[in-house]
Structure 1
Amino acid sequence: MNRSKNLERLQNEQFDICIIGGGASGAGCALDATLRGFKVALIEKEDFAAETSSKSTKLIHGGVRYLEQAFKNFDFAQLRQVRHGLEERHTVIRNAPHLAHPLALITPVFSWFEGFYFTIGLTIYGFFAKNDTMPKAQWLNKKETFEHIPTLTPKLHSSVMYYDGQLDDARYCLALAHSADEAGAAVVNHASITNFEKDSSGKLIAATIKDNLSDKSFSVKAKLFINCTGPHGDSIRLLANPDQEKRLRPSKGVHIMLPPEVLRSQDAMLIPKTKDGRVVFVIPFEGEVMVGTTDDEYRDLDKEPILIEQEIDFLLDTLRPYIAKVPDKSQIKSGFGGLRPLIASSGSKATKKLVRDHEVEYDEKSNLLSLLGGKWTTYRLMAKDTIDEACKLLNNETECTTELHYLIGGENYNFEEWKIIQKKYNLDEDICQHLVKKYGTKAHNVLETSIQTDRIHKDYPFIKAEVIYTVREEMVGSLRDFFARRTRMELMDWKATFNSVDAVAEIMASELNWNEQQTQTNIADYKKLLKNFMQKANVI
């Protein structure tokens, strides 16, 4: 992806569709529309997956909680959401096998009745998953349970094991944007829409864009604008047509990251009930253990939602009945908060009771198409529904082809390729496996870009060549782009990230032509952000 060339295209070409927002839904729409023959621009104000799409629970699932609510409350909207998620699950894994894979989840139970109840429920859950090869749910006895997760409490009776999928959400979103770019879309990050231009009837004909890396502004012309800004969707809707009512009720969810000793397992755990009526997942991710999530209404959209101490207490308390030795706060390595783009209910439901389904809204007055709501697992279906509607508006009858479209790095992927890389470059096993799992068939390209194979930090497999590659090929424009989203180091370990900033900044400065003042400012700003995360969570 070449940002300079794409910026030039935005200023000099007229587009059929301009998509606003580079998260999963926006990048998914960009890929779908481009494959259908549209001339597409994709604009992201920060970085691809910078907000909601990099801060999920990293699961590809229908949602066991939604299934339970569907049956208890005779709520067919919840049931439809489960079915959509499970139908899409196999497609998400198939199209990027380097970034997504099946994951076993263990649900500990404390009585025969609980085991029976969850076995029936998770068997029904699996029944809705057509066309995939996930193993069916099974009831494990106590001995079998401890073979999967040895750190569980000895008080448990048994467990129920079922399967869902796991993905690296930020890199999956990047793969969508990168694949759209490869197919012909003009994809640009760090570019904000500040205003719309309208014709005499009030319909959108252009958008004023500010390049946040240069502070220059320009206009992008398109026949149709699509709003895919997630929790921020109302701001674009109202910018296009101030007479519209707000539709979204964003909610905040947080996760904490703990050391691998908490589980000592490659399998995950589902905690089926919390004191506020949710479920919590305890999941191996990138060698650490991620615990989440919470669900609280969030109104201050101008501020990034971050992990605070009370939320840590809630998640550790939730772990307590299930783990033999509950970790204390000093063992927390990092954490993050994200927002869900929930569509407001006509009643006064709590956010945790709102359906995670999506809606494609067309505003006839402004000609703006908005994709509202949804969740990661159904991103492709959400994009399909949106571009289907765009096709009607632009008189295009081309069918969606994304179901069988491999994302960049995914076609002909073979995990065993890491052994060839190790033999050729004489690198440590964990580095080779990391490169193959994150870049897929492009792993060799990373090492061909640079001979700098030193680790960025001694405890992690990230190498300096990745900094150069991600700047040149993946549009990294800031330190946080690299640490939080191209690698997931910020999510994994705040202190290790803090200690690695200077070394990475030195390489980025050379690649991006930062002068000494720019370099020091970027270092100081990012370190300040990391310190703030640690202080708010009280884990310094």
Structure 2
Amino acid sequence: MNREYLIHQLQETNSWDIIIIGGGATGLGAAVEATTRGYKALLLEQLDFTIGTSSRSTKLVHGGVRYLEQGDVSLVFEALNERGLLLKNAPHLVSNQTFLIPSYAIWQKPFYTFGLIIYDLLAGRKSLGKSRPYSRKNTIKKLPNLIRKNLRGGITYHDGQFDDARLGLNLAQTAIENGATILNYFKVVNLLKENGKVTGVIAKDQETGKTYQIHAKSVINATGVFADGIIKIDNPKAKKVIQPSQGVHIVIEQKFLQSDYALLIPKTKDGRILFAVPWHDKVILGTTDEPKEKPVIEPIATEKEIDFILETAGRYLINKPTKKDIKSIFAGLRPLPAPDDKEETKEISRSHKILVSKSKLITIIGGKWTTYREMGEDVINKMEEILDITHKKSITEHLKIHGYHENPDFKNPLYFYGSDQEKIQKLINQNPKLGEFISEKLHILQAQVVFAVQNEFARTAYDFLARRTRAMFLDAKEAQKIAPKVIQIMAVILNKDSNWQEQELKNFNKVVKDYLVKI
């Protein structure tokens, strides 16, 4: 799976059935769908896989309790079905998480119990466990740090939790194993056209600067919040189709929950919900929903958003987190379909839409991680329809994703590698020094860096510390501390000199500062 071999495949192929632009959840899902149907598929990502929205989620594979409240029953039903499939196809990355909703008003427990019974019924045989009400005493046992005053009890329900960036990576590997060519750091700079129809792309290798003209029968724009950019290349007069909405999360220590249960705060002061979710021995708090004018690659959390999360969590927790307790901050942009004038971003449907231009450029927007597979299936169905070719049945409902490993030990720091754990152990057996920690705090081994470069397309320290491991999301200061050692190991494998190492460290420090709290 090295880059040179994949570029060789690119050069040796005269024409592709499909080119997918964008290496996030949507694009990677489409690539797996296309290649498993037997199409010759190429995916190009301008930076790293899942660098944007797809690595910055709340880490939930869920039907969406909030969407049920909004009356979007069909979306909830679809998402619950897809949640069940993901748990079956990627058990090394998806786990069953219990959530608790505290009840402080007399009406809350019956109201949420009724809603969650419907949620359970919609899940059917793919249910992860029944919801149930708890007394005040048992609620405190489940979440000892909950504020007691006026607490009447609570309701628990089950949903899925996952590692978003690792799933994205495993989808890229799955696509390649099934015949696709997938490249990161390959930017589409223009579209090829013939008789007014899109016939391919012009793409630039971001590492060498070399450009390629690549022909295809169909091109899919799966660039998320950047979809308008590709649409404007196709048609400069096209209307805006994306409304970016920023979601911020902060990461704190597990002691603030003192529990394996996640906390769902059902209504914040501005009508949203807030999660406190255990993840990799930390707790994720989030999220916000702030509309943004333009998409950026590295969105930055505002003081207002950080304060909102801390203040909301503090209204429910005895031991209240403060800014000095924040281990990491991350912000992502949701690619919501552009709303009607009166809609707020929290009201915009998370369903996906497929748009086809006059030139036959296919664009897919909206959606969420949980429904990535269904989105891929829908967009490849649309491609078949446009090309007027025989429909090929999807097989991805029952496709095991790379790394598939039954009954993983989630207490093992390397659990998220699934079946690839054996390959990391093999590296250590060959060179015991690779078994030494780079970070004992985050349980990161030297072997993981080697494996990431050789097998997981990691090209920069940022790739490794943010998306091959989740160091930057879990403890940004620790990630900054170990970056020089990571770069040193990467330089040896990539055959890079000291100038590259120096520049790489500068690049990393420039990015990591936005994950650090400013006190």
> Fold conserved (TM > 0.5)?
yes
- More displaced stretch, 524-533 vs 140-149: 524-533
The correspondence for 1:441, drawn from 419, 438, 443, is 419
CA contact (8 A) 2:23 2:48 kept: yes
In 1: Cα distance, 2:129 partner to 2:383 partner: 38
In 2: Cα distance, 1:56 partner to 1:166 partner: 11
**1:78-477 maps to which residues of 2 (within 5 A)?**
78-155=72-149, 156-199=151-194, 201-363=195-357, 365-394=358-387, 395-410=389-404, 412-415=405-408, 433-435=412-414, 437-450=415-428, 451=431, 452-477=434-459
Q: What is the CA distance between 1:185 and its match in structure 2?
A: 0.3
In 1: Cα distance, 2:118 partner to 2:154 partner: 17
Q: What is the CA distance between 1:302 and its match in structure 2?
A: 3.3
Q: What is the CA distance between 1:366 and its match in structure 2?
A: 1.4
1:440-487 CA distance string (max 9 Å, x none): 111110121343011111211111101000100010011110000000
In 2: Cα distance, 1:352 partner to 1:111 partner: 24
Match of 1:75 in 2: none
1:370-428 CA distance string (max 9 Å, x none): 11110111111111110111122331321011000000111x53425x9xxxxxxxxxx
CA contact (8 A) 2:120 2:127 kept: no
CA contact (8 A) 1:111 1:158 kept: no
Read off the aligned partner of 2:110 and give its amino acid letter. Answer: F
The two structures have a TM-score, normalised by structure 2, of 0.96
In 2: Cα distance, 1:334 partner to 1:346 partner: 35
- CA 1:378–1:180 in 2, change beyond 3 Å: closer, same or farther? same
Gaps of 5+ in 1: 71-77, 419-429
CA contact (8 A) 1:105 1:268 kept: yes
CA contact (8 A) 1:456 1:500 kept: yes
In 1: Cα distance, 2:55 partner to 2:8 partner: 28
1:23-77 CA distance string (max 9 Å, x none): 111000000100000000010111111101000011111211111121xxxxxxx
Match of 1:19 in 2: 20
Q: What is the CA distance between 1:303 and its match in structure 2?
A: 5.0
In 2: Cα distance, 1:12 partner to 1:147 partner: 62
1:260-298 CA distance string (max 9 Å, x none): 100011110100001111000000011101000000001
Match of 2:36 in 1: 35
In 2: Cα distance, 1:139 partner to 1:94 partner: 28
CA contact (8 A) 1:60 1:164 kept: yes
SS at match of 2:242: coil
Read off the aligned partner of 1:165 and give its amino acid letter. Answer: G
In 2: Cα distance, 1:348 partner to 1:43 partner: 36
1:178-228 CA distance string (max 9 Å, x none): 1001101000001100011111x2111221111112222112111100011
In 2: Cα distance, 1:246 partner to 1:329 partner: 37
In 1: Cα distance, 2:332 partner to 2:104 partner: 32
In 2: Cα distance, 1:309 partner to 1:64 partner: 28
Match of 1:487 in 2: 469
Structure 1 position 69 matched with structure 2 position 63: no
In 2: Cα distance, 1:355 partner to 1:208 partner: 33
Structure 1 position 513 matched with structure 2 position 495: yes
In 2: Cα distance, 1:16 partner to 1:449 partner: 37
CA contact (8 A) 1:11 1:219 kept: no
- More displaced stretch, 18-27 vs 309-318: 309-318
SS at match of 2:349: coil
1:313-366 CA distance string (max 9 Å, x none): 100111122111211111100010001111112333111110100011111x21
SS at match of 1:345: coil
Match of 1:423 in 2: none
Q: What is the CA distance between 1:5 and its match in structure 2?
A: 1.2
In 2: Cα distance, 1:261 partner to 1:134 partner: 26
SS at match of 2:304: helix
Read off the aligned partner of 2:386 and give its amino acid letter. Answer: L
Match of 1:538 in 2: 518
SS at match of 2:437: coil
Gaps of 5+ in 2: none
Count of aligned pairs: 512
CA contact (8 A) 2:465 2:479 kept: yes
Read off the aligned partner of 2:454 and give its amino acid letter. Answer: R
SS at match of 1:249: strand
Match of 1:51 in 2: 52
SS at match of 2:377: helix
Read off the aligned partner of 1:415 and give its amino acid letter. Answer: P
In 2: Cα distance, 1:53 partner to 1:517 partner: 31
Match of 1:5 in 2: 5
In 2: Cα distance, 1:133 partner to 1:170 partner: 25
SS at match of 1:125: helix
The two structures have a TM-score, normalised by structure 1, of 0.93
SS at match of 1:129: helix
In 2: Cα distance, 1:470 partner to 1:168 partner: 16
Read off the aligned partner of 1:373 and give its amino acid letter. Answer: G
In 2: Cα distance, 1:238 partner to 1:343 partner: 16
